[in-house]
Amino acid sequence: MSDSDEAKMSGDEEKDIKEEPLNDSEIDDITNEENIMKVLIATDIHLGYEQTTKRAQEDDSFRTFEEILQYARDHEVDMVLLGGDLFHEAKPPHNVVMKCLELLRTYCLNDKPVKIQFLTDPEAVFSHCAQKVVNFEDPNLNVGIPVFSIHGNHDDPSYGAVGSMDVLSATGLINYFGKWTDVTQVSIAPLLIRKGVTTIALYGLSYMNDQRLSRLMRNNKFHMLRTDKADDPFNIFVLHQNRAMHSQNSYVPENLLPDFINLVVWGHEHECLIEPQHSKLNPKVHIMQPGSSVATSLAQGESVEKKVAILNIFKSKFKMNYLKLKTVRPFVFEDLVLNDYNDEISSYKSRQDAVEEFVDNYIENTLITKATEQLTAHPKQPQAPLIRLRVFYSEDRDVFDTLQLSQKYYHVTANPNDMILFRKCSSKLKKKDIKVQEQDLGEVSEIFRFDENEKDWKRTVQGGMTEYFNKPDKVNKLTVLSLTGLNESLARFVNANDSNAFKDLVKYQMEKSVSRLVKQELKTKDDILSAIKDYRDSRLHQQQEAKSEEESFFDARKNLPAKADNASRDEDDLKMEDNDEDVEEEPAPTRGRGRGRGRGRGRGTTSKAKETTTTPAKRGRGRASKNVTALDVTTTRGNQSINSWMSKSSKKAKSVILDSDSDSE
């Protein structure tokens, strides 16, 4: 250790921490490497991002994960600590799991001696794992770099079921901790790890529904257990939750974090704010937000330089070494306000053509240049950059078709089709007036269609759907599909990347409605529609039972991603949620995979979810008259009962039901 490192460790250059002067024995201890624990910290790796799209970014996550493991090997760290979302999907494809296993085997299994000791009963802290042992003490494995990880919302297993992190744990390559399945209370016991005279108490909490966790903390049902097996350990808490307040109580309040925690490692937020800072709401606690190692959305928070950190701990003192990730794809995010350049935009062409030419030159000469400056000369760094240019315009004639520019930059950038995003603004707006918001307000405005003067940024997509379908003139728009089911599907689509949520819900609720109808003697179209509405009304009067049933359906599906904390709960917890005045539908935050202290919000996931939920209604309107005619003909011939007719023409019956869902008033 260098003299400068010793000075930092002793607190001489650590601005955030005031330490007492060291005595001679402490100086001897601190100069001994055997007493300093080195932990590499990273979060939100998102292995497998863009694997299904076959875009240019499909291997980005693996390149950077390998770089992180190389840093761990080259700096001879004692352990690696991951803060969730190792995988991008709850049920990652086999090739993604295989690549992950190959990298972990290559860098973590070796003859390097492990210098840390595990002091906690593994049977207790790894009770959820198939192998209830810390991997570097397993006689069947030769672990050189232990990896400890919680799970995030993207690799969240279904309630009580096996997820991707459980599989890695069973292989012995990951020490999977912090999995919690009790939704009525949380009591976290620490993992005690020692090296020389230094002991850390590692607390972990894998992803939980933010509103539920916030409620448990507010109701004093969240506890972090202290230990008497170690004197004055260095306490680390790693979690994977919303940090910024995107809606009421859908985040973890920093002021409710225990004061005895020395350092909080905050996963889930993608903007790299890696230098530990005193929490403004809880000054006794240091918080570090490593951010993601790969950009999963074209958001401003994702464009911040990405790093990982090596945490050096000596007793109660710590310092950080920051390591820039050199394999990250260049990403330039910038705003262009046309009002600032009216004098430079050519007046010899049509305004639209002139603006297009100006934007083209700006991308080529300014943004591409900035992207080139981000190249690190690392042999594995991708060369084609991500570009996001938000163009603020005040007149509609400034908007042009971006297809031509997309074709021009097809082999130059990684995202040629979505480089440019238009934003309407006042004719008086200048770039200096644009303030960084905790969310991309323009994108949220489009989703919720707020009036420009009446924005309520605490609203959610689920809340908007509830308000819409509860209007008197819209109440009959949903008859087969339930509102609680649609909201639950949306939450799973966004939070767990569950692409089958809507399709499975439609199939499940249609089949359930058909099953109910065939038990009744229904002979005419009006009888069928009336029975469907009666069934809808009965569900509305028993919303909580219907919601619980739908959640159980989702979590019972096999080989599909599901949300862990919305699954089969006990009645007391359900009643508690009903009576919680702060929570109506437990909405999920509107998010894609770029998150950064609220700014790194992704667009794609939310808009896709919205499109998916509205598709059935659009299809239904186009088939209504044809299907009703088929029903009339069928019931006229021989005056058959509905039971007999459905057994012969189930496809037609299902079409009629879906149409009534969309068109009945």
Count of other CB atoms within 10 angstroms of residue 1: 13
* Catalytic site includes residue 541: no
Nearest one of 287, 244, 159 to 590, comparing CA atoms: 244
CA distances from 98 to 47, 87, 325, 497 (A): 11, 12, 23, 20
Q: What does the block give as tokens for 397?
A: 């004639």
The whole-angstrom separation of Cα 336 and Cα 91 is 39
CA distances from 626 to 233, 620, 623, 630 (A): 73, 11, 6, 6
The whole-angstrom separation of Cα 13 and Cα 6 is 10
Say how many residues make up the chain.
Answer: 665
Nearest one of 76, 78, 68 to 46, comparing CA atoms: 68
Angle between helices 543-556 and 571-579 (to 10 degrees): 130
CA distances from 247 to 217, 297, 341 (A): 17, 21, 37
Count of other CB atoms within 10 angstroms of residue 540: 15
Pairing of strands 273-278, 286-289: antiparallel
SS3 call for 71: helix
Contacts 24+ apart (CB under 8 A), 583-586: 583/211, 583/212, 583/215, 583/249, 584/463, 584/466, 585/462, 585/463, 585/466, 585/484, 585/487, 586/209, 586/211, 586/212, 586/491
**Residue whose tokens read 């049977």:** 123
Q: Single out the catalytic residue among 46, 88, 128, 154.
A: 154
Residues 546 and 484 sit within 8 Å (Cβ to Cβ) = yes
The CA dihedral of 69, 71, 74, 75, to the nearest 10 degrees, is -120
Q: What are residue 287's DSSP bridge partners? A: 264, 277
Q: What does the block give as tokens for 162?
A: 């096996």
How are strands ordered across the β-sheet holding 420-424?
Answer: 331-337, 386-393, 420-424
Q: What are residue 313's DSSP bridge partners? A: 37, 318
Q: Where are the beta strands (DSSP E) in 490-614?
A: none
Q: Please, is 639 exposed, middle or buried when counting C-beta atoms within 10 Å of its C-beta (0-12, 13-18, 19+)?
A: exposed
Please identify every residue annotated as catalytic: 154
